[in-house]
Chains A and B, each alone.
Chain A
């Protein structure tokens, strides 16, 4: 029998029992669609989260005093930095870090206690200013104006979220008042930015933030630590972000780690507490691996659904073999070989499986796309899972059809022809 004739005959048998075939296919469709829905939605979330990290903080290395981590133990930075990190990275350390091979810039970050900021008669309660360096602002970060200058007092950059908090429209060049417990200071808004690099989590600064230069604000009123290397007290930071050369992130991270753990002031101050050094790549890897595990788990549930569908095919094919015993006898009397009978039934099972894939894949993609829209993440087509799901449709058909097809091939033509 020619392949095309086999396909034609198998199709004829399946369309001869439309409802039965359709219901069997539905089982496979549900299985495959479930796999695709979970895989596409999961992959979309993963891609979205990972790209968010990569776009905002490519090649950054985070240094945090204290033992926190992402990746190794799957934990996440929790709570306020002040609650677990100690001011330990001294200005001496920062100068040393700046000189390490592969480090492009060092962005220390600290907070300066205040009580509120006010503009145009409106007072906004804010407990701290965020001290950082001009290098923390990239061109994309600045919405209008420019970054402040280091060493210059009286200049601030507002985050967009801070601007939004004021009813009146704050623009570059306006002055705002910063209130501290011991007085107040009038400062000029020199720039408005979406975010500053070196923030924790790096999703941008959602809470209203007022940025000031570390010099002089943090250096004058921030905490200090003893520099073991220089024998004097120096301003010290809880958190420093280093920007590494993009192709040397991993090596640079190792060098930074070595310096901090072996000869820095920070390690002297911290003792057993330790320092956490992590690159964006580590964070991304950690998050990616957690999400991959979750995707696998939920997609596995879809595979279970597919198993149920496979039993549906096997069941219906077995019924079909019994029902068509006489047909098998007729075919054998007319020259059909055992393996042709077997192939015929196997083809039917495979067609059912493939039909499930053909309907299930687009359905799964559509629902996955809808879920992505709903969750407001960019949709990523899970090509690999489409291939896997289609292959599963095929394999499901083959495996569930094998035994019934083998039974069909073994039908004794004499008995079959007598079968009523």
Chain B
């Protein structure tokens, strides 16, 4: 597992400030600088309102900074058009959410193929790919089930398969175990660890120490700034 500052960074966050106008200016991120090296596994911890979700949205190319630069896969998201950012999300990024965010009317297989639909993959190719991934997360026998026919843990596995569909450079996981029981949570974290071992860079946002400790390092945030960067035992 190569984790060194010499290897290329997948994400560079340089002096990023993000402000919102909510009946007055709210500074969600204040001069944040951060790098995610290739194949690294980083957790962001902090209380609510600390700016961790804002950071995730910026790195996820869902939002643009007020000042500073966010570079994902060597591309500055501030200079990309809306359409280019969508393409970046579809091909280089994989999202895993606390609430799973699956399409309710689509089957597990169809959900897992979603990014491939927008990346214009051929139908048979994308089905083969999604089926392989669903088998990989242990859902080989549930591929034609709708989300409502699956348990919370199974839904999150579908979401993981979907996030991996385009073999993205970076996986963004926002409280991935927040809506499942502890045991299922552990299984989900195992899957993420395996994914990381296969070379995908992971950025995990959580408020649970136990979950964050699975990462190589933990970035602690408070009030829109990084207060501490902690190397975990997983690194050793």
Contacts and interface: CB of A to CB of B under 8 A. Distances in A.
Interface of A: 1-2, 5, 9, 12-13, 16, 326-327, 329-340, 413-414, 417, 420
B83 A333 contact: no
Interface stretch (B36-44, B102-110, B223-231): B102-110
Sorted nearest first, the 4 A-B pairs with minimum C-beta distance are A335-B90, A335-B118, A337-B86, A334-B115
Nearest to A16: B105
Instruction: Determine the main DSSP class of A at the interface with B.
Output: helix
Interface of B: 57, 60, 62-63, 82-83, 86-87, 89-91, 95, 97, 99, 101-106, 114-115, 117-120, 123, 162, 166
B143 to A, nearest CB: 17
Contacts of A331: 103, 114, 118
Given A333-B62, A335-B91, A337-B83, 19 more contacts: A1-B117, A5-B123, A9-B117, A12-B105, A13-B105, A327-B104, A330-B102, A331-B118, A333-B95, A334-B90, A334-B114, A335-B87, A335-B90, A335-B118, A336-B90, A336-B118, A338-B83, A340-B118, A414-B57
B86 A335 contact: yes
A334 B97 CA distance: 12
A413 B117 CA distance: 18
14 contacts: A1-B120, A327-B104, A330-B101, A330-B102, A331-B103, A332-B62, A333-B95, A334-B90, A334-B114, A335-B89, A340-B118, A413-B62, A417-B62, A417-B101
Nearest to B120: A2
Given A413-B62, A414-B57, A414-B63, A335 B101 contact: no
B87 A334 contact: no
A336 B105 contact: no
Contacts of B86: 332, 335-338, 340
A344 to B, nearest CB: 11
B149 to A, nearest CB: 15
Nearest to B110: A12
Contacts of B104: 327
Nearest to A341: B86
A306 to B, nearest CB: 30
Nearest to B94: A334
A82 B41 CA distance: 108
Given A330-B101, A331-B118, A417-B101, A338 B57 contact: no
A19 to B, nearest CB: 15
Contacts of A1: 117-118, 120
A379 B218 CA distance: 80
Contacts of A417: 62, 97, 101
Contact of A334 (B82, B99, B118): B118
A332 B89 CA distance: 8
Contact of B87 (A13, A330, A337): A337
B205 to A, nearest CB: 13
Most chain-B CB neighbours within 10 Å: which of A2, A12, A329, A337? Answer: A337
A330 B95 CA distance: 9
A334 B57 contact: no
Nearest to B56: A414
B118 A329 contact: no
A414 B62 contact: yes
Most chain-B CB neighbours within 10 Å: which of A13, A327, A339? Answer: A327
B83 A339 contact: yes
B51 to A, nearest CB: 14
A336 B90 CA distance: 7
Contacts of B57: 414
Contacts of B101: 326, 329-330, 333, 417
A413 B82 CA distance: 11
A336 B91 CA distance: 11
A315 to B, nearest CB: 21
B82 A337 contact: yes
A339 to B, nearest CB: 7
